[in-house]
Structure 1
Amino acid sequence: MSDSPRPAPVSFSEFEPLTTAAWQQRIQRDLKGADLADLQWTTPDGLTLQPFYHREALAALGGAPAPQVRPPHRGAPNAWRNLPALLVEPGQDGRAAIDHAARALQGGADGAHFDIAGADRFDLGYLAATLPLTQGVWGFTVSRQPEQFLGQLLAATGKTPLRGFLRYSPGPGTLPDDYAMQTQAMLRCLQLTRHLPEFFPLAVNGAFFGNRGATPVQQLAYSLSIAASFLDNLTAHDLDLDTTAVASAIHFHVSIGPSYFTEIAKLRALRRLWATVLHAFGVRPEVAATLRIHATTSSWTQTTLDPHTNMLRVTTEAMSAVLGGADSISVTPYDSLYAEPNEFSARIARNVPVILREEAYLDRVADPAAGSYFIETLTDQLAREAWALFQQTEAGGGFLVTRGKVMESIRLATMEQFRRIATNEQVIVGTNLFQNLKEQFGFDPKKLLRSRQFDTARAAYPSEVLRLATAMHFIRKEQKKKKAAVVLLGTDTIQQIYQSFVRLLPVADRPAMSELPAQGALSLLFSSAEEATLMSAQPEQFQQFADFIRNRPDDSEEDTVQMQYDAPILLACDLPTMQDAVKYFGFKEFTVSGYSTDDVLARLQGR
């Protein structure tokens, strides 16, 4: 408008500009002789970050990169959609989740993301009758027959111009490329939605990698490789379909961790790399600018111990997502690992993006990180490293061919994180540092360990399962139960137990570890009313032991719960049988000189 006030240029002329040399001189003075290089930070990807950046950093990049520009929403240059994630369990018709979505719209949400485990029972008619589908953004995750679900969705919604996305996620025990291999189903989904330019039926599930401990570079590279397989495979099976149509239907799902600046740079690097990939496929640059990114707060960083710390984690993760340029975001309720969905935690989660928009005004600037000496440099570093790994993956035949090597590389990255957590190099507040040893759990540890929904693919799992198993042991001891239990703590957890224990003792009293189990051994806790014993076993030993215990005719089904890949977390039976089985299958006892396992566990529990 001609009568609208024009923004005045920002000027700080009263401040004298400082050169890089002047800043460095001041830093050296403040360090009082300490070496500036000691403040360098190395990321899990091996990137070295400096403690200080100045204008020369942008010159090294060839000048400041152009800010990223996205289509405005609600007139805001950096708007995002607040989409609460609503889980629909198998056998449910989804009406409770749909009603929750209707209430969420009244509370500031912009739509919802329905994660539907049993799509055949989901009441799409109730969805169309209850929700104002033309006014929001709606996401749907299904585990099978995506083309059938999408056809039913479009039939139920009629001519409604849907905005949102479909994600095909086959479920636990599968690999993220499984949906990419369902070529005919994906082609049908694309054909069904050609008339819906703001509905994206092809999802690249990068969150799969992030929620299993992959580094940011791995997440970017492997996500791009899956997207490239879409561009290759779908056009090869439909000659009337070009790469522009496929690229326009793709959206990325990413998980956002707590490394604040790295996650901002990760999303910005993704947009740059996507433009590079599309250029290689001969797709027009303007198509890359329409990329949609849906971000979720990371399940990898969620904890059951001191769970209110999750509120802080998801807040910084949400900030990283919106500052990095996500188009929509789902914030996970802080108690989702152990509690049934409830209005309090759902409201807290829903309000995080609302506060960032309505009170922090983070939607007012198109690309808030643009021009930052540090973030622009980090974005460039991540993009370069991810592009090199992407090219390496493609040279090996692409993700579909190299997926075994890819998953092994992620496993190694995960094990390195577990090591860093065990040595306090990587901090999980409330779990491996600043623990509340007097914490009263808001759940039954035994019930949680038996739950098939308990998420074991998390950074905190080795630490917290020890605390949960220990609590269960002391409950068993107080109640003098006649049964015994063996709890699988995880891989190589005994090293962490030892290091956690000795940190609680004076230096002069710190005992030696009698013998360290072989690398890759499973760590176990054998627990009865009389005693607890830490043990280790090779995976095949434990599997044989588990098969024996589970197949006992007098054992009830509830005594066993499965981890992913059929590895049991908790096994229980009568004490004599358990003792004989542990001895027969050759489990090796772990000892700390001068301390029994009960002593160790009691000290770790603050008893």
Structure 2
Amino acid sequence: MANTKREKLFAESPPVPTEKWEEVITADLKGADYERKLVWKTAEGFSVRPYYRAENLEGIKFLGSQAGEFPYVRGTHAHNRWRVHQTVSVASPSMANAEALKILNAGVDSLGLCIASETFSAADLETLLAGIHLPAVELTFCGQKTPNVAELMLAKIEKDNIAKEEVRIAFCIDPLVKNLSAKGDFCSPNGENCFGRIVELINKAKEYKHIRIVTVTGQTFGNSGSTIVEELAFTLSAGHDYLVRLMDAGLTVDEAARKIRFSFSVSSNYFMEIAKFRAARMLWANIVKGYSPEKNCACKMLIHAETSRWNQTAYDPYVNMLRGTTEAMSATIAGVHSLEVMPFDASFEAPTEFSQRIARNVELLLKHESHFDQVVDPAGGSYYIETLTQSIAAEAWKLFLEVEGKGGYTEAYKAGFIVERIKASAALKDKNIATRRQILLGANQYPNFTEVAGKELTAEAVTRKQAEGNTLAPYRGAMAFEEMRLKVDRSGKEPKAFMLTCGNLGMARARSQFACNFFACAGIKVIDNTYFKSIEEGVKAALEAKAEIVVVCAADDDYAEAAPKVKELLGGKAILVVAGAPASAPELEAQGITNFINVKSNVLETLKFYLKEMGI
């Protein structure tokens, strides 16, 4: 009986071929261009279709492998138990120890220790790690003189006679990306001293299976404005450079690869980020495999991820909680080894206990309430994500080979190729933010109208530091808007924009809402109004409000008559702005009405112009 019902069900719902779907879509478009309307042109160099089907997976070679199997697209292990990472700044070893013990008892099992002192000693290390049971936690050291700290730590674990298989430590030693990108040069000419020290440390830690000496800090690229493909390709290229240098120094490919760790940022581009991590594991596995390692486990990529700093906002900062949550979902679904969620206030102050707890709890909720750690590669088999994985891998590999063709990461970097490429991508992102093609909620769209910057928000926090020479300077995409808004908040003035709504009620309200969002992005106080029965009534109310800007909000057909009348009644006592792009614009401009705002406006530059007109 059940089989009969099943057969009947499938008989009533026969499969629909792609051609039929396309016919329906074409008909619904009513002559509109399919490619322009429905195909997304990504910054990563490929197009995304409106839908995908099983046939789109034909020819993808990595399909069919399982988690824990080469090329590790689906994960390096047959589980998804990522580590919850949180970083503690170590200015005072005793205070850092107290903080570390507190967060270790609150769910953290991957502890980052950022050393602030150049004179950090063995005694300081003992104080810092007092009461911490090393086999129970993974440690990561970064900050000042990390190679020296590594020496101290290796000496300590040997002195304490900790079982080699129970030690899990990573050191953020990265002369290629961290030093070269920030300073434009190594710690020594051509990095001889740096790499010699790395080889010494690897040899000392050779018997420790879970110690990583090098960390390729790929988030440097993402937080400097790169695309996802660029972050992946340049990170892989730097990793390959390390691999070659270490083998040239006498290490085997197995010994070298097992001491390299990778760290990436994860942006709010949800599905693309899932695909990025899957593609990263596959590409790195194939790079290492090319050197014929003795065991495939040397091909496994150890990935740490941290949520993006680039898209955090200083205004309306609680939105950063939402960004961090979706970014954490991308990383954990993709199967990273460890993850740090940035506190929502990290962009403008030393994170508070509250913000750190919220950041930590994002991961704990994903584990203990959403059970993300109980599902391995849930994206596997998705037509869309499998295709994205293939597309990102193909573009990243193409760029990787281009870097290799220039002599490898170091030579390509010194030639300016990497910096120029990332700066071009960052400039495009900046333009898209200025014109609202890319939205940063709370900064360039839907700002909190009533928010005024508190004392904790400083000019330094919102001022972008320009990269000098052949270097990269991480920044936040919202900085240009925030710097402008902070000037208004600190100006001692309270500029006002008055919405003069008239004519067609529906269009007047729509235009008013658009204009309110527009001007509030600069911290200008907006005075919204439901509707004025006459222009005279509206202008009178605007003058009584002492508004510096009066925005006429009406239908396009109303502007030819309404705008000149408003201009006449204002008598130059306020800046007149027309909300929209009416066909009558040339006639209005001939009458001296030159200010228009619409969806095609460069919001940032337009707002700067009005602030300058008001003396701010």
Interval of TM-score (by shorter of Structure 1 and Structure 2): 0.7 to 0.9
Q: Does 1:375 align with 2:380?
A: no
Distance 1:506 1:81, change over 3 A: same
Note the 1:514-525 alignment, pairs <5 A: none
Contact 2:168 2:210 in 1 (8 A): yes
Tell me the CA shift for residue 44 of structure 1: 1.2
* Distance in 1 of aligned mates of 2:242 and 2:64: 29
Match of 2:595 in 1: 511
What is the aligned counterpart of 1:248 among 235, 238, 258? 258
Among 359, 365, 372, the alignment partner of 1:355 is: 365
Q: Which region of structure 1 is more displaced relative to structure 2, 254-263 or 353-362?
A: 353-362
Contact 1:101–1:111 (Cα < 8 Å) also in 2: no
Distance 1:279 1:346 in 2: 40
Q: Counterpart in 1 of 2:440?
A: 428
Q: Give 1 or 2 for the bigger CA radius of gyration.
A: 2
Mean alpha-carbon deviation: is it higher for 154-163 or for 374-383? Answer: 154-163
Mapped partners of 1:311, 1:105: distance in 2 = 22
Q: Which residue of 2 aligns with 1:69?
A: 68
Residues 263, 304 of structure 2: 8 Å contact kept:
yes
* Distance in structure 1 (CA, Å) of the matches to 2:225 and 2:440: 14
The 2-side partners of 1:289 and 1:412 are apart by: 33
Output the amino acid matched with 2:483. Answer: V
Match of 1:80?
82
How far did residue 147 of structure 1 move? 2.8
Percent of pairs with identical residues: 31
1:98 counterpart residue number: 97
Q: Hey, what does 1:597 align to over in structure 2?
A: 612
Confirm whether residue 470 of structure 1 aligns to residue 488 of structure 2.
yes
| Counterpart secondary structure, 1:326 | coil
The aligned amino acid for 1:155 is A
Is the CA contact (8 Å cut-off) linking 2:236 and 2:284 kept in structure 1?
yes
Q: Alpha-carbon deviation of 1:201?
A: 1.0
Contact 2:266 2:327 in 1 (8 A): yes
What is the CA–CA distance in structure 1 between the aligned matches of 2:205 and 2:54, rounded to whole Å? 46
The one-letter code matched in structure 2 to 1:470 is V
Q: Give the SS at the match of 1:314.
A: helix
Distance 1:176 1:463 in 2: 32
Q: Distance in 2 between matches of 1:376 and 1:98?
A: 44
Equivalent in 320, 323, 329 of residue 333 of structure 2: 323
Determine helix, strand or coil for the equivalent of 2:372.
coil
What aligned pairs does 1:397-546 form with structure 2 within 5 A after superposition? Answer: 397-403=407-413, 404-446=416-458, 448-449=460-461, 457-474=475-492, 505-507=578-580, 511=595
By how many angstroms is 1:59 displaced? Answer: 1.6
**Alpha-carbon offset, residue 188 of structure 1:** 1.8
Where 1:473 maps in the other structure, the secondary structure is coil
Greater fraction helix: 2
Does the 8 Å contact 1:93/1:121 carry over to 2?
no
TM-score normalised to structure 2 length: 0.72
The answer (yes or no) to whether the contact 1:294–1:328 under 8 Å persists in 2 is: yes
SS of the residue aligned with 1:112? strand
**Higher alpha-carbon deviation: 319-328 or 333-342:** 333-342
Give the CA deviation at 1:77: 1.3
Change (3 A) 1:93 1:394: same
Q: Is the 2:465–2:475 Cα contact (8 Å) retained in structure 1? A: no
Describe the shift of the 1:411–1:373 C-alpha distance in structure 2 as closer, same or farther (beyond 3 A): same
CA distance in 2, matches of 1:453, 1:85: 24
- Does the Cα contact within 8 Å between 1:445 and 1:471 map onto a contact in 2? no
Q: Find the counterpart in structure 1 of residue 518 from structure 2.
A: none
Equivalenced residues, count: 489
Q: Spell out, residue by residue over 1:441-480, the C-alpha distance to the aligned partner (whole angstroms, 9 max, x if none).
A: 2434446459999996111111111111222223699xxx
Give the direction of change, closer, same or farther, for the CA distance of 1:162–1:177 in structure 2 (3 Å limit): farther
Which of 373, 394, 409 in structure 1 is aligned with 2:404?
394
Contact 1:264 1:320 in 2 (8 A): yes
Find the partner of 2:317 among 295, 307, 318.
307
Query: Which stretch has the larger CA shift, 335-344 or 370-379?
Result: 335-344
Q: Any conservation in 1 of the 2:257–2:299 contact (CA below 8 Å)?
A: no
Q: CA deviation digits over 1:199-221, x for unaligned, max 9?
A: 21111111111111111111111
> Equivalents in 2 of 1:450, 1:275: separation in Å?
40
Cα distance per residue 1:294-326 (max 9 Å; x no partner): 000111111101100100111111111111121
Contact 2:39/2:47 (CA < 8 Å) preserved in 1?
Answer: yes
Spell out, residue by residue over 1:221-245, the C-alpha distance to the aligned partner (whole angstroms, 9 max, x if none).
11111111111112222x3x21110
Alpha-carbon distance in 1 for matches of 2:275, 2:356: 28
Q: Does 1:225 align with 2:243?
A: no
CA distance in 1, matches of 2:461, 2:376: 45
- Name the CA shift for 1:201/1:474 in 2 (closer, same or farther; >3 Å): same
Instruction: Decide whether the 8 Å contact of 2:347 with 2:461 is kept in 1.
Output: no
Q: For the Cα contact (< 8 Å) 1:229–1:399, is it kept in 2?
A: yes
**Structure 2: stretches of 5+ with no match in the other structure:** 1-5, 467-472, 496-520, 523-548, 554-576, 586-592, 598-603
- C-alpha deviation, 1:417, in angstroms: 0.4
Whole-Å separation in 2 of the counterparts to 1:463 and 1:191:
49
Question: Secondary structure of 2:491's partner?
Answer: helix
C-alpha distance in structure 2 between counterparts of 1:67 and 1:48, whole Å: 28
* C-alpha distance after superposition, 1:242-281 (max 9, x if no partner): 1110011111000100100010011001011001111222
Deviation at 1:506, TM superposition (A): 1.7
Structure 1 residues 61 and 153: CA distance shift in structure 2, 3 A: same
2:154 is matched with which residue? 154
Name the SS for the 2:351 alignment partner. coil
For 1:580, the equivalent position in structure 2 comes to none
Compared with structure 1, are the counterparts of its residues 177 and 358 closer, same or farther at alpha carbon in structure 2 (3 Å cutoff)?
Answer: farther
Q: CA deviation at 1:61?
A: 2.2
> What is the root-mean-square deviation of aligned Cα atoms in Å?
3.6
Match of 1:366 in 2: 376
Q: Which moved more, 1:56-65 or 1:249-258?
A: 56-65
Q: Provide Cα deviations, 1:478-530, integer angstroms capped at 9, x if missing partner.
A: xxxxxxxxxxxxxxxxxx98xxx9998523665279xxxxxxxxx99xxxxxx
C-alpha displacement of 1:596: 6.3
Q: Please name the residue that 1:45 is paired with.
A: 44
Q: Are residues 100 and 510 of structure 1, via their aligned partners in 2, closer, same or farther at CA, if it must alter by over 3 Å?
A: farther
- In structure 1, list runs of 5 or more residues that go unmatched: 1-10, 478-495, 514-522, 525-532, 535-591, 602-607
